[in-house]
Amino acid sequence: MRQKIVAGNWKMNNDKAETKALIKGIKKAIKKLSLKNTRVIISPSYVNLSAAIKKADNSKIEVAAQNMHQAKNGAYTGEISADMLKSINIETVIIGHSERREYFNETDAILAEKMDAVLSNGLEAIFCFGEKLEERKSENHFAVVESQLKNALFHLEAANFKNIVLAYEPVWAIGTGETASPEQAQEMHAFVRETISKKFGKEVADNVSILYGGSVKPANAEEIFSKPDVDGGLIGGASLKAEDFAAIIKAI
Ligand SMILES: O=C[C@H](O)COP(=O)(O)O
C-alpha cells in the first residue's frame, strides 16, 4: 500500500552515544504527532544498528540498514549479509544510493543482484536512483532514470513491489543545498510511476511509494511533499538534527 514515508539516511555519521541521543531527541520531538499512514525510518551505520533498534523500541521509529551484500555469506571482507541483518531484526535496507554507486562501484547489475537478495530474504528495499548534473544538463535525465529502473528492477515480479520503496535522488541535489524544484520532482516522480505502470501495471504503480531525496530541509519539505506523486523524502543532512528531522516529518 502506498504510504507516506520520511526516512533519514545518516550515512557515515554518529557514534553509539550520538546515535542513542539523536533517537531520543527524535522520539521526543515526534511523540505527539499522530503519523497516520506515515512511516518514520532512520538509517544509522551498521555498528550502531543494534543500539538503535533497542533505543527505538516501542516508538514510531523504524530502523533500516544503509547497504547489504548480495551473497548469502562467504569471503567478502567488510560486508554484511541479509541473514546478519535479519538476526538483529532489521527489515528494511537502502539499496543503490548514489554514493554507493559512485564510491563503491555499485553497477546496475550488482544492484539487480542486491534487490534479489533483499527480496528473497523477505526484507524491504528502499531503492535509490537519479541522474547526475551533466545528465540533466544534457536533458538525458529521463533516459538515465529509466535505464536505472530497467536494469535493476525490471526482472522482478509485480508482487515484489509490496516490498519496494523507490527514492528519486538527483545526484546534483545531494548535500549541495540545491534542491530539485517541486515541479522537477513531481515531473520525474510521475515519469517513474508511468515507467513502473507500463512494465508492472497500474495497480503496482499506484501503490508504490516514491520518495524524493536531495537537500530536503524544514524550509522546503512541505512544498515538495505537496506534489501528488511525491510520497515522502529520503533525508541526509537534515536527518542528523532531531528538530529538523521532526519538522520535515511534520511537513508531510
Ligand atoms: O540519502 C539521502 C540523500 O543522499 C540526501 O542527502 P541530503 O539531504 O544531505 O542532500
Query: 213 CB less than 6 Å from ligand 1?
Result: yes
Query: In terms of pTM, does the model score above 0.95?
Result: yes
Binding residues for substrate: 9-11, 175, 215, 236-237
Determine what percent of the chain is predicted with pLDDT higher than 90.
Answer: 92
49-70: average pLDDT: 96
| pLDDT score of 37 more than 90 | no
Quick: pLDDT tens for 161-214: 999 999 999 999 988 888 889 999 999 999 999 999 999 999 999 999 999 999
Specify the pLDDT at position 205. Answer: 98
pLDDT at 9 over 90: yes
What pLDDT does 125 receive?
A: 98
Residue 235 Cβ inside 6 Å of ligand 1? The answer reads yes
CA 219 to CA 179: how far, in whole Å?
Answer: 11
pLDDT at 11 over 90: yes
Contact (CB, 8 A) for 37 and 3: yes
pLDDT, position 177: 82
Q: Is 106 a catalytic residue?
A: no
Overall fold of domain 4-28+38-137+145-215+227-240: TIM Barrel (3.20.20)
Is the per-residue pLDDT at 36 higher than 90? no
Instruction: Tell me the best of 215, 217, 240 to mutate to test the pocket of ligand 1, counting ligand atoms within 8 Å of each CB and taking the most.
Output: 215
Task: Label residue 159 exposed, middle or buried (CB < 10 Å: 0-12, 13-18, 19+).
Answer: exposed
215 lines ligand 1 (CB under 6 A): yes
pLDDT at site 32: 87
Q: How far is CA 174 from the centre of its chain?
A: 13
For the question of residue 155 being annotated catalytic, the response is no
The pLDDT value recorded for residue 212 is: 97
Distance CA 46, CA 170 (A): 25
Report the 10 Å Cβ neighbour count for 82. Answer: 24
Backbone angles phi, psi at 125, to 5 degrees: -110, 135
Q: Among 242, 199, 248, 207, which residue's Cα sits nearest to residue 26?
A: 242
- In the set 69, 97, 141, 189, the catalytic residue is 97
Tell which wins on pLDDT, 180 or 222: 222
Per residue in 85-98, pLDDT tens? 999 999 999 999 99
3-class DSSP state of 161? helix
Q: What is the pLDDT of residue 206?
A: 98
What pLDDT was estimated at residue 34?
87
Please name the residues in contact with 78: beta carbons below 8 A apart, sequence gap of 6 or more: none
Q: Which atom of ligand 1 is nearest to the CA of 9?
A: 1
Question: How far is the centre of ligand 1, averaged over its atoms, from the C-alpha of 167 (Å)?
Answer: 11
